């Protein structure tokens, strides 16, 4: 499953430091939905995250996509920065 995870620069730095995103990892199934959420909540970094299994969240959906969560830590190998990070994501 591929989702777009919206976060803050501070948390993005923590992800780089630890080498993973701690579970549960929430995100949207479309980049547009993630962008809308980022604007709404004032977060500036979006990661493309792949992981299994994915579960549909009962809320947080918007007109551009559905919200999902992954119930495992997501390692650095499955994370790609697609928007907003000032620092290079290193694998």
Domain residue limits, the chain: 1-30+45-54
How deeply is 64 buried, as exposed, middle or buried, from its count of CB atoms within 10 A (0-12, 13-18, 19+)?
middle
| Closest CA relative to residue 49, chosen from 66, 19, 67, 26 | 26
Per-residue pLDDT of 45-86, as tens digits, reads 999 999 988 899 887 778 999 999 999 999 989 999 999 865
**Tokens 């591929």 -> residue:** 2
Q: What is the pLDDT of residues 29-47, one digit of tens each?
A: 999 999 999 999 999 999 9
Q: How far apart are CA 62 and CA 8, in angstroms?
A: 20
pLDDT-based confidence at 91, cuts 50/70/90?
Answer: very low
């Amino acid at each position: 499953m591929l989702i777009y995870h919206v976060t803050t620069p501070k948390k993005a730095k923590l992800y780089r430091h630890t080498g993973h995103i701690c579970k549960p990892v929430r995100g949207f199934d479309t980049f547009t939905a993630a962008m809308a959420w980022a604007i709404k909540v004032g977060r500036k970094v979006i990661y493309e995250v792949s992981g299994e299994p994915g579960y549909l969240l009962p809320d947080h959906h918007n007109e551009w996509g559905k919200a999902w969560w992954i119930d495992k830590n997501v390692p650095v190998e499955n994370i790609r920065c697609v928007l907003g990070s000032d620092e290079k994501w290193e694998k």
